[in-house]
Structures are given as C-alpha cells and as structure tokens.
Amino acid sequence: NETFKLMEQLANIALRQLLDNEGFLENKSLPKSSRPLKNISALKRDLDARAKNERYRATFRLPKDECLDGHTDCTLWTPFAKMHIPGQMFVSNNYICFASKEGDACHLIIPLREVTIVEKADSSSVLPSPLSISTKSKMTFLFANLRDRNFLVQRISDFLQRTSAKKSNEDCAVGKQKAEWKISSGDPGCEGILNVSSSSPSRTISNQLENFCSGDAPTALQGLLKLFPQNSPGDLGPKGAKEKMKEESWNIHFFEYGRGMCMYRTAKTRELVLKGIPENLRGELWLLFSGAWNEMVTHPRYYTDLVEKSMGKYNLVTEEIERDLHRSMPEHPAFHNDLGMAALRRVLTAYAFRNPNIGYCQAMNIVTSVLLLYCNEEEAFWLLVALCERMLPDYYNSRVVGALVDQGVFEELTRVYLPQLSEKMQDLGVISTISLSWFLTLFLSVMPFESAVIVVDCFFYEGIKLILQVSLAVLDANMEQLLKCSDEGEAMTVLGRYLDNVVNKQSVSPPIPHLHALLTSGDEPPPEIDIFDLIKASYEKFSSLSANHIEQMRFKQRLKVIQSLEDTAKRSVVRAISTDLGFSMDELEELYVVFKAQHLMSCYWGNSRTTAIRHDPSLPYLEQYRIDLEQFKELFAHLTPWACGQHTPVLAERLFRLLDKNRDSLINFKEFVTGIGGMYHGDLTEKLKFLYRLHLPPALSPEEAESALEATNFFPEDMTPEVTPSTSELDLFLHCESPETAGQKQQSGTGHGNSQEKKEEKGNSPPDYKYYLQMWAKQKETKKETIKDLPKMNQEQFIELCKTFYNMFSEDPLEQELYHAIATVASLLLRIGEVGKKFSSMSIKKTENSKPELAKDPESDDDEELSHNSEHSQDAEQQFFQHGSGTAHPRNIQEGNQNLEEERDIQETGSPIQLLSDDETKDDLSMSSYSMVSTGSLQCEDIADDTVLVGCEGNSSPRYGSSIDSDWSISFEQILASMLTEAALVNYFEKKVDINEKIKQQKKVERQISSSSDYELSSVSG
C-alpha cells in the first residue's frame, strides 16, 4: 500500500509537470540521496510533504507559493459557542490556520500580516499550554492543549519577523508608513502597540487605479451594478425588504463571528451563503471565500503595472478578447457602454499577460463580466486568478484539461448516485456535451443570470463540490424524461428547458432576457424551479460528496484524460504524415512514442538542451516535439538497419544535416520518419539513392569534402517547396510564379523565343487567373525524380561513400563476401571515373581550340588512358582497401587484387556496363520517385591520410593524401550498374528488416535510463 501511494504521488507530480511545466519548475526539486535505489525514505518524506502542502493550500484557499511549516493538535476557544473545539493548528510562512476535527464546526485563517501580539498565557489544569494571538481588527484567538508551545511560539516569531521585514520593504516601495510588530512571550502586561482598523474588503475600496486609465474610457473603481443601478430603492417592495433582512443577518454574523479574513467560518456561515448573499456584500464575500483577497493585498500595484504593460500591445490573444467582448452578457446594461467594455478588456488582457500559458480561453469573458458587476477591476482580476489557477485548475487552456477531468468525475458520480440513468446518458452522449458548458461558465451560460449568480455564491464557498452536486440534482430532477429520450438532441432540449426555468424569486434586479430560453421555449412552458430549492435538494441528496474524495477521483481521471489527449494527438500526427513513407500506421505510432519520449527526456532532465529551451507548448504537435543532433544520434544508433560500428555517429550526423532543412538544429517527427524510412523501404535503387545523397552537400560538410562545388548546384536557392499536408494553400499560392516571371525563367533557361512573346502578351493584359490555377495544380503534382536528376559525385565524395560501404558490412554474417564484392565494384568505378575524366578533358579542348583535327576516337582514348593508368590504378585500389580493412582480412585483399586484374582486362576490351547508354540504363532498372535531400558527412578512422586514392593521369606519379582529382567524377547510374553486377550487394540491400524489433530495443534502453539515478539521467540527457 505504501509503495502504491508513492507511485501515485510520483504519477501526480509527472502529470502536473506535463500540464504546467513552467509553474512546476518553481518547486520541482526532489531530495538527492547517495543511494537512491536502496533508500527511498528521503523521497517519500518529500512526496508526503508535497501532498500535505497541496491539501493545506486547497483547504484554506491560500496562494500557490505558500508552504506548510508544520501542524499540531490543539483546541480553539470559540466565543460564539462558548466552548473549546478540538482540531489542528497549521503554521506556514504567512498564515496560521485552524481546522476542527468535525469538518463544519470551525475553520479559521489568520494572516501573519494581521497579527499584532503572540502571547503565552498561564497554564492551568482547565486550560493547559494556552497561546493567545491578537490581530489588528481587535480580535483575540485563544489556542490551548499545545504539545510544544515554546517551539511553536519561536517558529511564529521567526515568521513574523520575516513578514515584518517584507511588509516594510513593500511599504517603502509604495511610500507608506512602516508597520511595527510586537511579539510577547509570557508577559501578561504586554499589549499591541498598533491600533489598526479592520482590513475587511468591505471597508477598503481600491484606490490603486485612480490615475491609471489614460484612455477615453474611465476606470471602474467599484462594481458596475453600483454604477448602473437598475432599480431605485423605493421600487424594491417586498424583495427589497427581503434583501435588507439578508444584510442584517450577515451583519449579526459579522458581529458574532468576526469580519474579514479572520472571521470564524462555521456551519452558520454556510447556511447564510446557501440562503443567498446580498448584492452589496457579494463582492466582499467572494474575495474572502476564494482567497483572492490575500493575493490582492500582498501584491499592491500588481494589476496596475500589468495593465500599463499590456496597453497598446496587440497579438492573437488580444484579437480573440476583442472578438468576444460584445458576446459577454450583451443583454446587461452595464456592458452597453465604453466603461463596462473597457473594464472587461483590461481585466482579460491583464490576465493574459500574467499567465501566457493560458492567455485567453472562451468562457473567461462570461465569468469575468459577472465578476465586474460586483467588484472593481482589481478585485475582479484577482478573483479571475483564483478561479483559473486554484479553484478550477487547468480549466481555461487550449485543451480544457481540467474541465475534461471533472467531466470524467461527473460521469463516475453519475454511475454511483444515479446508476439507472448512467447507462442511458452514456448511450446518448449527453454528459460530455452538457458538462463543459455547465462547468466552464459555472451555469452562467445555461441559467438565467439572477439564478446562476446564486450558484456562483455557493461555488466560491464550497468549490467544485457544489457544481457537481447541482449537476447531479439537475439530472435527478429530469430522470424520467431523460430515460424516454431517443437521441442526444432530445435530451439536450429537456435539460435546456429545465435550466431556463430555474428562477430566483428573491432577486432585487429585474430579470435579464436569456437567449437560450428564447430558443428552447415551447408551447407549454415547464413549471418554474426555485434556485434555492434546487441547491437545497443537491445538499439533501448528494451531501456525502467530500473535497478529498473529489481530489482522488480527479487524479484517476487526470491520468485517463491525459492519455486520451495524447492518443488523439498521436493519431492526428500520424495521419498528417504522408502515407508514402512506407511505414504502417502501427509502426508510425510506435515511432512517435519513441520520438516523443526522447523529446520529453530533454525537457525534464536536460533543461540546458536546445529542445528544452525552445520547447513551445502552443505549437501544433507535429512541430512541438523536436529533437536535436545528440538525441537523433541515439535514436539512429538503435533504429538503423545498417550496423556501421564507430562510423554510425558520423552517418547519423550527415542524415541529421540532410533532414534539418531550416537549419535550426532541430528536426520534427515527420523529418525524423522521412530519414528512417529511407533506410528501411524501397528497393536497391532507392536505398542507394539514399546513401548517394548522404555523400553530397549539404549532407557532406565542407570540413569533410573540400571540393563539392558541382554537387551544390543540385540544391538551388529558389528550390520549389515540397508540398506537404501541412502546407497551407496561401503558401502554395505565394510560391507560384507569376506569368511574367515564368516567361523570364523559360527564356533564360531554354532560349526559346516564344517565351518572350508570351511575356509581352501578358505584360499589358489583366491577370490570367487560369494561369495561376494551372501553376497551383503543378505545385501540387508530385514531381517524379529519375536517377538522371542526381548530380555527379566527385572523387572525394566517392571515397567517403566507399568508407561508408566498408563500415556497413563489418558486422554482417557474409562479411567476407561483401568485402570482396565492394572491392570489385570500387575498383571498377575508379577506372570508370578516369575514363570519364578523359572524355571531359577532350570536350574542353575541343571548345577551347575549335580545331576538328584534335578530336580523337573515344575508344582509342579509353584504351590510351587505361594503358597509362592501369598500373597506378591497381596500386591505388589495393592500398585503399588494405588501409580500409586493416590486417584482419588478408584473404580479401588477395581476392580483391585478383579481381582487379580481371576487371582491368574487362576495361581494356570494353566493359558492357560502359556500353549501356543512359536511356537504356534508365529503362532497364525499376526506379521509384522516392526523393530526399542530403545530410552530414562521414569520417573513417581506419583509412589513413597517406592512402592512395586513385590512379594517376598520363605518365605522372600517383597522387596521395589530400591530392584529390577535381576533374574526376562518377554518376549515380554508373554506381548502380556496377552494384547490380554483385549478387551479394544486391541481396544485402534488398533484405527486409523489421523495425518493430529495433523499437522494442530502444524502449528497453529508455526504461533503463528512467530507472537510473538522478546523476545518471543528467549525464545521459546532457
């Protein structure tokens, strides 16, 4: 059981970090033990402390940065009940709180900023170890039965000193008088030296914004209802009298239980809330019950500064806010003018700047507009903070995770409390539809305003428990009708009409027309339901719900929701990737899991990595998860079908350069799959094309290949972008050439005269939209690439390709046979390159001299070239493979030398491969249209710098080391034709490899890494 709880806590932490990475980083440190695998006590202690902190903050609605220092059993004297109530005292860095053992008996929150005296009273048998705490509001709280009173007083004293220093600094910043504190221990004559009036929100009207608004619209310094009263006091009648009675009841309660943050919160307080909060006290009590008042008074000028920073800033969030402003309670007169609209705009924009991870979400405008009716701007802002960040966590973001979690909780509660209705609701699919609108807007969008505001009153006191209770009560009241419904639309109509007729007969405000009610009204309106009766029924039938139970259910549902969202994202990404990559859907999903795991490891354990620094959760999933070079090398080493030994990182670096087309040192999942697919799918031709490109720029870096100018022409700067599923139509249109530009390019490229005429015709004519459509269609057509489109490879690039081939075969069972085959092919290609160089030099001479008598027969040139270079070519080939293969394969060298002699004889008599024309080669071979662009470069440590690379030209001596022949070149067609002569090479590249086995091995590695110590994680992830 203890192990399970530990795993639960770790999973909860992981989910919190996944949902809010930036907020979690503030308190993410776990204790580091010297032997973490053998001793987990430090970890368990830390996790338990985290759990207690969260419960403490949630119970007393405290700010997120509040840390519990300790708690102890005690009793609290309650003057209203004239008795001592047993419970627990909680002490943190800014608050002293008390919770009775009986949940509703008494809750107490004492901010240390309000404390003036902490005094140890005389002990007695009736009252052992008493402790008295006095506040600025002239309230005194008496605790007793404290186990270690002296230690407790010392801790409170330390926290008070820090609070005093912090308060002094804040007062200096805003130009206020410094506050002074006095702490007394056991001296009955000590009294507080401060006499400060109550800091209740009702007695403090914010004046921070008096000179703030620089625009034409004035700033709302109080609730909009006070600025736009809908009724005069004389017109209230019986409802007005009822409202005055409510106010009097609350005033009596304040007198007996206190007012402000230090008020005793008891079952009597809940009763008054359920009867309805008077409109004049609504803003004050919302601030108290939500805990927003604490954050507001400890952050003076915070809202003002935010608004000043956000003024004049425009982005996508502000555009969304502007779009929704007029949809926020358009029926209320307070938002028919610039004052209400400007206040709503400032509050929403300020919060978007405070919390860019949330920014703005639909439904925030509806809730904020209601807050502004009863509070000034600053108070409404802090209520919105409490709502979004503490009371409804993760509700208002792009994925509304929190609302989906509570939707799952609601479904589970329906199965428990309404089992006969649960299955029917699942079949109709109603719960997923109704719960989001009910929860996100706190029923404000589905009930008449004067009724929904009563739900908001109870919500700020009870939390999400009240929303779930009312939702269950609504289903229970409509059970018979819902069981008769045949589809979702019918069920929604039943619930919509019911909620439209939930009325508040005690409201002093005139009813506001409800748009939803107008749309769902029928011939026979259903009977009216009093909102107070509905809330009362929810407590009578579903009061067994507790906050702790809801949190446990939330944790389970959070796991399901996150997994569901990730599965949906995975399927979306896989579907967005082109299907011609060769992998099945299942293989792509497995690759996505491995790729994403590599990305997440860098985010959580390698915060200094590029992927972690540049992680942007707002991007689409295809672009959000990216990996850098080192991560790609790790995945490449485990997933590649070609075992290249020590050469593997070099090959991975080249492929990464090839895939990183935007040169941001990161690749996304589609680019990753494109690179991996080039090694797994296709025939011999496709895989050779893949390797061929890995040895051309940009794959081959300048450091690895100094002479690659010819190959770089294959990558023009104005290359037409590849059409992908993610490419927008606008991007395609912008890349289309205009008719004039197309004409110019055609004229310069081909020299046809009709292109100039076409240009002149189109120059003075209106735009030819058919032409644009044709160009657009051409852009969408997949251009089929042939082997003739590949550039030729120079000598140095060819040497790098040979190094790669050599390393690829080092771990193959047919290693000896493959070495012999590649030696034969390489020697043949070296000679073919020499012949090609001779042809090239002859054509240059013809052009320069323009003398026909200098032209010679090509076949005689071939013979002459081979006779001059045969001896040097043989030495070069032999020394190349001797250095390349080392001393471990002497038989290979002998066989290779013998084969070289045979190949030389073939070359002298005319190779059949050379006699094939380009067209014949193209027709004889089955070529597909798979195309890629190049990557990094290869380096082979086994080949020395003094290796003879090629034969010499003419009668000159052989060239060694870095003396690369820049005139030597070889084409892909020649490489392919030579490779086809060796059955061992053909079989090697045609062999199918199952990537699923490779993925399983990679997952094993990930599990080993995740179970390693913190130190090992940091070393693995950088």
CA distance 873 to 876: 5
Residue 741 has pLDDT above 80, yes or no: no
Amino acid 39: pLDDT? 53
- Burial classification of residue 485, based on how many CB atoms lie within 10 Å of its CB (0-12 exposed, 13-18 middle, 19 or more buried): buried
| DSSP tag of 361 | -
CA distance 176 to 928: 79
Query: pTM for the full model?
Result: 0.69
Question: Does the pLDDT of residue 218 top 90, yes or no?
Answer: no
User: Is the per-residue pLDDT at 760 higher than 90?
Assistant: no
pLDDT category, 652, cuts 50, 70, 90? very high
- Where does the pLDDT of residue 1009 fall: very low under 50, low under 70, confident under 90, or very high at 90 and above? low
Is residue 83 very low, low, confident or very high in pLDDT (cuts 50, 70, 90)?
very high
CA proximity to 600, closest of 622, 572, 570, 631: 631
Q: pLDDT per residue over 468-527, tens digit each?
A: 999 999 999 999 999 999 888 899 999 999 999 999 988 887 777 655 544 444 556 678
pLDDT for 527 equals: 85
Instruction: Give the pLDDT of residue 526.
Output: 74
Question: What pLDDT, on the 0 to 100 scale, is given for residue 848?
Answer: 56
Residue 190 has what pLDDT? 32
Contact between residue 118 and residue 160 where contact means Cβ atoms under 8 Å apart? yes
Query: 902: left (phi > 0), else alpha (psi -120 to 50), else beta?
Result: alpha
pLDDT of residue 203: 36
What is the per-residue pLDDT across 237-260, written as a single tens digit (0 to 9) for each?
788 888 999 999 999 999 999 999
The predicted-structure confidence for 945-961, as pLDDT tens digits, reads as follows 333 333 333 333 333 34
Pick 181 or 616 by higher pLDDT: 616
Q: Do residues 665 and 628 lie in contact, with contact meaning Cβ atoms separated by under 8 Å?
A: yes
Mean pLDDT of all residues in 371-376? 94
Q: Are 212 and 186 in contact (CB under 8 A)?
A: no
- Identify the pLDDT of residue 875: 43
What's the confidence (pLDDT) of residue 957?
36
Region 302-325: mean pLDDT is: 91
More confident residue, 565 or 459: 459
Q: Output the pLDDT for position 329.
A: 84
Q: Which residues pair with 502 in a beta bridge?
A: 529
Q: Is 345 helix (H, G, I), strand (E, B) or coil?
A: helix
DSSP code for 866: H
Residue with tokens 């047993």: 86
What distance in Å separates the CA atoms of residue 136 and residue 181, rounded to the nearest whole number? 10
DSSP for 393-420? TT-SSTT-HHHHHHHHHHHHHHHHH-HH
CB-count exposure of residue 232 (10 Å: 0-12, 13-18, 19+): exposed
pLDDT reading at 981 higher than 80: yes
Query: Confidence band (pLDDT; 50, 70, 90) for 812?
Result: confident
Which of 28-32, 449-453, 569-573 shows the lowest mean pLDDT across its residues?
28-32
pLDDT, residue 303, reads 95
Considering the chain, what is the average pLDDT of its residues? 75
**Of the ranges 87-101, 325-339, 956-970, the best mean pLDDT one:** 87-101
Of the listed ranges 49-53, 165-169, 538-542, the least confidently predicted one is 165-169
Q: Could you give the CA distance from residue 23 to residue 974 in angstroms, rounded to a whole number?
A: 59
**Prior bond of 890 cis (ω within 30°):** no
Pairwise pLDDT comparison (232 vs 134), residue with the higher score: 134
Q: Residues in the chain, how many?
A: 1022
